[in-house]
Structure 1
């Protein structure tokens, strides 16, 4: 048998992704958040204007129903609010509340620390190659 699962890119990336995701979630839970919420907070924080739920879902690479449940929870927790689209009253935009901005700012160092931890002792040129390979993998999947 020639196929070696332990050296299969799909298996290795999936296993690594799961480990990274689980550890980052654990770290964020110590701060009262989750990885998914942290990602949403990030995209809403860096947005210069309120964005639609559809835009948020696309940026986060999640399905619309998952984004809807996430936004509902974040609204319930006072982190976001929905505002009318002045051009289309049927559509709502999402924006961070002041409390949401504070949580986003407070959690950014957690993300930076975790990123630095993951990349520790890896030379910059290898990180560039790694990102290039990952982007090519994503491109190959889309074709």
Structure 2
């Protein structure tokens, strides 16, 4: 095993942590967002719902945000109390809820996207498009390979 492969996971986690720290710092310091006490999980919910205007089930949201179901329930409860999102009964399955953005949540997404773009531009500065495409393809391969391990169980 090479030195690079030995330390890959550690570096990957470190990069992910730095990315989240930068986003969190920007989001918490913006006066427009401060009243909503947006955590990284909350802004990820807002962006996922913004990209899915027909809403997502609580299970889909949990999978896409990367949290467990009970954690998502609490997160949705808090965001619903803040007037950012709402649950609606699923028309095809009364036992399931579809989560939708409310106007307040919708109005916050451009601010969040602005900060996400700033962090993305800063983090990717100096990396050629070719290198970025190769890195992206490599990360997709790693993600898909690891996801396949779960399906084999």
TMscore range, shorter length: 0.7 to 0.9
Pair 4,72 (structure 1): closer, same or farther in 2 beyond 3 Å: same
Superposed counterparts of 1:29-68, under 5 Å = 29-31=28-30, 32=34, 33-68=38-73
2:85 counterpart of 1:80: yes
1:18 counterpart = 2:23: no
Deviation at 1:66, TM superposition (A): 1.7
Q: 1:138 to 1:15 in 2, by over 3 A?
A: same
Q: Which runs of 5+ in 2 are unaligned?
A: none
Pairwise CA RMSD of aligned residues?
A: 2.1
Q: Comparing both structures, which one devotes a greater share of its residues to strand? A: 1
- The one of 92, 95, 104 equivalent to 1:90 is 95
Q: TM-score, normalised by structure 1?
A: 0.88
Cα drift, residue 122 of structure 1: 0.8
- Return the structure number with greater relative CO, CA threshold 8 A, min gap 6: 2
* Partner SS, residue 8 of structure 1: helix
Q: Which runs of 5+ in 1 are unaligned?
A: none
